[in-house]
Each structure stands twice: as C-alpha cells, then as structure tokens.
Amino acid sequence: MTALEVQCISKRFGALKAVDAVTFTVHPGEIMGFIGPNGAGKTTTMRICSTLELPDQGDVLVDGISVIEEPRAARRRIGFMPDSYGAYANTSITDYLDFFARAYGLSGDLRRQQVARVIEFTSLGDLVEKEISSLSKGLKQRLCLAKTLLHDPAVMILDEPAAGLDPRARVELRELVKALAGLGKAILVSSHILTELAEMCTTVTVIERGTVRGTGSVAAIARGVTTKQIIFARALTGPERLERTLLELPHTSEARREREGVVFEYAGTQDDLAGLLAQLAAAGLGLVEFAPQQVDLEDVFLSLTEGKLQ
C-alpha cells in the first residue's frame, strides 16, 4: 500500500522549470528524506503534495486520493509543517491548538481530547499556559508539529523541521518523527542537515534542478551510482607513505588522509582486494587497520548532484 504517490509532476514559473517529471512513493511507516541543493525544487514539490500549488502536469495521490481532483479530501489526510509559519504571539499554547482544532472541524469532547493528545505527544504539558512569544525555537517547532497532528493525518510533510534548532532540540524532534513513523504514518522530510536525515530516514529521494537524481535506500542508490568500494587503511609508518603506496597499486583512486590513515576508492573484485591486502602487508608498512566503509548519505548526495543552480 502506498500512502503518498507522486506521479510525474512538473511545475514551471515563467521560464523556470522548478519541478520536472518528479516521481517517487512513500509507504506507511516510512520516513523518506528529501534532499537537494538550494533551489532544487524541494519546497515546490512539497507544496504540490500538500495541495498548496497545482502542478502543470502529473498528479499526487494521498491514500489513493488525487490532490487535483479531490483536494479537500486529500487535505484531510495530510499534515504539512512548513519551514516557517505564522503564530499569534500573545496566544497561549492551549488557545493556539484549540483554534486550529476548530479550523480542522473538530468539536466538543473530540476537540478537547485531540488537543490534550498532541500536547502529551509533543511533551508541551508543562507549558500550556505560556504565550507563544516566550517560547524557544525548539519549542515553537514542537508546537507547530503538534498543530500539524491535530487532525491525525496519514501523511506528514515536513519542510526543514530542524532548521535553526540546537542539538538537544534536534534530537528531540528526530525522536518524535521516528515515533510518528512507528504509528504507521508516512513521512516526507526535507533538511540540509544530512547527518540528521541519515539517522532517521529509511529511504531518500535526491533532487537537483527540479529532477530526481535517485530514490530508494541509501545503499541501493549507492550501488547505482558506483561499483567502487570505500576503504579505510591505517599503518604504523604513517598516512603519507601509505597513501603513496596505495596510489601506485591497480584499482585504487581518490585517496585522502583521514583519522591518521587513508580513505580510498577501490574498483577491483573481491579477489583483487585480497591481493591488495597481501601486497600492503608485504610492503613493510606495519598495516594495523583495513576496513571497507559503508557509503553514507553525504557520499550519495555528492555523487548524484553537481551543485548547479537553476
């Protein structure tokens, strides 16, 4: 079952094609990281998914409902948390959430129960009478998340939710997002903090200049980008001699010094790799560490994007 299905959407602003045939899917319980350089088309894509923009072509299905043909029905299943949002500065947390619960059409006991539920989930209970103007950036982000959850959406779309947060607030927000996925919600989240996304996302979609460069798990995308292995080696003779030796051997490239050792790319087979290890051991370098490295989200991002602006 697919909770969010983006079907070949395109959007043009004058001569600029901000989104070009973007396609991906997000399933219940999945956290998809949506990454790309500034101006890549992330926010426009998210606004289309949230019924705030109409695509020139394509469609988005939310629980099987078209955002074009049935935007009101789709909107009831979407929780959109923008990168910046308006707040009534002199309003308390309770009044703010109660106002939006009414806007979502909740009434009576159901409204009060839902407001209490989101306050408990986001751990805002001790602050309910505080005015919004007195809240820190992290607490305001939690409040915005609470507001986004009031109507219990199946799909969460979070645009740069960790922007400007301190380390503790980022950890707390990350745990809340994971908890929401654990409840079966499909989550699409954008961020420029790749390490943050890597710690919570199950899949990623990389976009640049309005075009999807890759989508899937980090490991799957990495396999599509390169067949090379990333290896870390460390020797008692030091990184300089080790680096020089590595670059003289076949199948090695892109060596750089790191953590008193050398990280390098290797394009040979497993048999070749065994031979490389034997050669290094026989070279008198005093090899003490030799380990393949897992490709991370930053590696995938740098491999797929060029950093060009539209």
State whether 51 and 165 are in the same domain: yes
Last residue of some domain: 199, 223, 247?
A: 223
| pLDDT at residue 90, as a whole number | 84
Q: How much is the pLDDT for 295?
A: 65
Counting residues of the chain whose pLDDT is more than 90, the rounded percentage is 60
For position 293, what pLDDT does the model report? 75
Specify whether 196 is located in the same domain as 241. no
175, 196: one domain = yes
Number of domains in the chain: 2
Domain match, 38 and 152 both = yes
For residues 245 and 108, membership in a common domain is answered with: no
Stronger pLDDT, 300 or 75, i.e. the higher one: 75
Last residue of a domain, one of 188, 223, 258: 223
Q: How far is CA 186 from CA 30, 86, 93, 203, in A?
A: 5, 25, 26, 11
Q: Are 189 and 96 in contact (CB under 8 A)?
A: no
Q: Tell me which H or E stretch contains 60.
A: strand 57-62
Please state whether beta strands 155-159 and 78-81 pair in parallel, antiparallel, or not at all (unpaired). Answer: parallel
pLDDT surpassing 80 at residue 88: no
Q: What is the mean pLDDT of residues 149-169?
A: 91
The DSSP 8-state label assigned to residue 52 in this structure reads: S
The pTM of this model reads: 0.78
More confident residue, 230 or 279: 279
Q: Which two tokens stand for residue 273?
A: 């790799």
308, part of any domain:
no
Residue 224: the pLDDT is 60
Q: Does one domain contain both 166 and 248?
A: no
What distances in angstroms separate CA 14 from CA 11, 43, 175, one per listed residue?
Answer: 10, 17, 40
The mean pLDDT of 177-196, rounded to a whole number, is 91
Q: How far apart are CA 259 and CA 209, in angstroms?
A: 35
Mean pLDDT of 178-186: 96
Ramachandran angles phi, psi of 209, nearest 5°: 55, 40
What kind and span of H or E run contains 155? strand 155-159
CATH code: domain of residue 42: 3.40.50.300
Range of the domain at 233: 226-303
- The mean pLDDT of 37-63, rounded to a whole number, is 95
Average pLDDT, the chain: 89
* Same domain membership, residue 57 and residue 204: yes
Predicted confidence band at 222 (pLDDT cuts at 50, 70, 90)?
low
Mean pLDDT of 91-117: 94
- Pair 121, 9 in one domain: yes
pLDDT at position 42 is 94
Q: What is the pLDDT of residue 1?
A: 77
Least Cα distance to 300 among 30, 46, 35 occurs for 35
Q: Does residue 102 form part of some domain? A: yes
Of 201, 223, 245, the position where a domain reaches its end is 223
